[in-house]
């Protein structure tokens, strides 16, 4: 056992560079029975004691919340998620129920929501499929099948078309190489040249070449490819995408490249988009904060402040209100 965990520890040191910046961390002195009993009382309280529910569930990790739900079911003889659904409403309900899902279940549900029904929410679909790692996408595919008895690839193919569909499907097929300890300068150079020759250098765009390079190479390799790209092209990769392709395809390539270059900065700009003007796009705000809080939200906070000059906590205070605001601020934790 010790050997396995040492090995896993090493593995995450090498590849899990984004999983080390959570704002939600395991609560110390954790007692699931005590938490379950407090939540039971809070739900039963006339008018519902939202504050207690927020205080507990936003300060526990997903695995701790699962334990609380078990303890709750044992004592109340009821499912805790169903009880929370009945007690809460609106944006606060969306945050708390989001926290009760595992990150992979949450992502799978968001994807399902974006392709279900009439029309497609391309913007959300792009965010999810272009920002998740290969390993995450593999897990999402299997959980998607488990939850909805549907094949993610078929659903994506059925709801999108043309080169945009090709790009998303290539990502869902999860063919991306794992990072290698050896830096292959020749391949970096040939990929950079191929991207240039397939786009800026020729008339039209050979989208298939772009797709295969950007969906099959490892992230550290691609970072070097995009640097090298500048020695061939007068425009950087993002500028080239804007010049070469349009619409959803352009948006998807851009998100992909931005996430390869700096994923936390991408999410920081998403949060800025969600809080432009008066009020907030609450779905987008909730989604980014809930899905990243155990991954890299702390780093996203730093990027947000660097980009906008204002802390994420200040922005949330300005653009949201009530229990929803309290829940988001509690998940983000104090300003660093």
Contacts of 281 (CB under 8 A, 6+ apart): 273, 274, 275
Which of 131, 205, 116 lies closest to 168, judged by CA?
A: 131
Which of 107, 69, 102 lies closest to 85, judged by CA?
A: 69
By beta-carbon proximity to Ca ion, the closer residue of 238 and 314 is 238
Q: CA-to-CA distance for 123 and 118, rounded, in angstroms?
A: 15
Q: CA-to-CA distance for 204 and 201, rounded, in angstroms?
A: 9
214, 173 Cβ separation under 8 angstroms: no
Q: How far is the CB of 256 from Ca ion (least distance, A)?
A: 18
Taking CB under 5 A as the binding criterion, the range among 46-54, 197-205, 223-231, 283-291 that sits at the site for Ca ion is 197-205
Residues 162-191 that bind Ca ion (CB under 5 A): none
By beta-carbon proximity to Ca ion, the closer residue of 131 and 205 is 205
Residues 44-63 that bind Ca ion (CB under 5 A): none
Q: CA-to-CA distance for 324 and 63, rounded, in angstroms?
A: 22
By beta-carbon proximity to Ca ion, the closer residue of 199 and 333 is 199
Q: How far is the CB of 202 from Ca ion (least distance, A)?
A: 5
Q: CA-to-CA distance for 159 and 116, rounded, in angstroms?
A: 9
Q: How far is the CB of 315 from Ca ion (least distance, A)?
A: 39
Q: How far is the CB of 275 from Ca ion (least distance, A)?
A: 36
Q: How far is the CB of 240 from Ca ion (least distance, A)?
A: 8
Which helix (H) or strand (E) segment holds residue 159: the answer is helix 152-159
**188 phi, psi to nearest 5 deg:** -60, -45
Beta strands in the chain (DSSP E): none
What end-to-end distance do the CA atoms of the chain give, in Å? 36
Q: How far is the CB of 272 from Ca ion (least distance, A)?
A: 31
314, 271 Cβ separation under 8 angstroms: no
Beta strands in 17-153 (DSSP E): none
CA distances from 54 to 6, 39, 120, 187, 302 (A): 35, 10, 32, 50, 24
Q: How far is the CB of 199 from Ca ion (least distance, A)?
A: 5
265, 299 Cβ separation under 8 angstroms: no
Q: What is the largest CA-CA distance in the chain?
A: 68
By beta-carbon proximity to Ca ion, the closer residue of 205 and 233 is 205
By beta-carbon proximity to Ca ion, the closer residue of 91 and 205 is 205
Q: How far is the CB of 147 from Ca ion (least distance, A)?
A: 41
Site string for Ca ion, 302-331 (x = CB under 5 A): ------------------------------
By beta-carbon proximity to Ca ion, the closer residue of 209 and 317 is 209
Q: How far is the CB of 257 from Ca ion (least distance, A)?
A: 16
Which of 37, 64, 71 lies closest to 53, judged by CA?
A: 37
By beta-carbon proximity to Ca ion, the closer residue of 54 and 241 is 241
186: helix, coil or strand?
helix
By beta-carbon proximity to Ca ion, the closer residue of 145 and 202 is 202
Q: How many residues bind Ca ion (CB under 5 A)?
A: 1
By beta-carbon proximity to Ca ion, the closer residue of 151 and 206 is 206
Site string for Ca ion, 199-218 (x = CB under 5 A): ------x-------------
Which residue ranges make up the site for Ca ion (CB under 5 A)? 205
């Amino acid at each position: 056992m010790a050997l396995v965990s040492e090995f896993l520890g090493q593995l995450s040191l090498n590849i899990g560079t984004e999983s080390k910046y959570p704002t939600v961390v395991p609560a110390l002195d954790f007692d699931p029975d005590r938490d379950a009993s407090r939540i039971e009382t809070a739900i039963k309280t006339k008018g519902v004691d939202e504050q207690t529910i927020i205080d507990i569930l936003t300060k526990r990790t997903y695995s701790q919340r699962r334990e609380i739900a078990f303890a709750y079911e044992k004592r109340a003889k009821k499912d805790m998620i169903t009880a929370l659904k009945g007690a809460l409403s609106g944006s606060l309900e969306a945050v708390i129920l989001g926290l009760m899902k595992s990150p992979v279940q949450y992502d799978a549900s968001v994807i399902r929501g974006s392709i279900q029904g009439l029309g497609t929410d391309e913007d959300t679909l792009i965010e999810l499929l272009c920002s998740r790692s290969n390993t995450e996408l593999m897990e999402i595919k299997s959980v998607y099948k488990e939850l909805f008895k549907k094949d993610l690839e078929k659903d994506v193919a059925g709801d999108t078309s043309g080169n945009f569909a090709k790009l998303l499907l290539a990502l869902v097929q999860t063919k991306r190489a794992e990072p290698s300890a050896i830096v292959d300068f020749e391949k970096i150079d040939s990929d950079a040249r191929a991207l240039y020759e397939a786009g800026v250098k020729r008339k039209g765009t050979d989208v298939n070449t772009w797709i295969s390079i950007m969906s099959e190479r490892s992230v550290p390799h691609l970072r070097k490819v995009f640097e090298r790209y500048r020695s061939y092209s007068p425009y950087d990769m993002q500028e080239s995408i804007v010049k070469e392709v349009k619409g959803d395809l352009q948006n998807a390539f851009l998100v992909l490249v931005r996430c390869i270059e700096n994923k936390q900065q991408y999410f920081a700009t998403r949060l800025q988009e969600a809080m432009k003007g008066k009020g907030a796009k609450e779905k987008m705000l909730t989604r980014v904060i809930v899905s990243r809080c155990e991954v890299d939200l702390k780093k996203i906070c730093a990027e947000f402040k660097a980009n906008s000059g204002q802390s994420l906590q200040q922005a949330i205070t300005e653009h949201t209100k009530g229990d929803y605001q309290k829940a988001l601020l509690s998940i983000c934790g104090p300003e660093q």
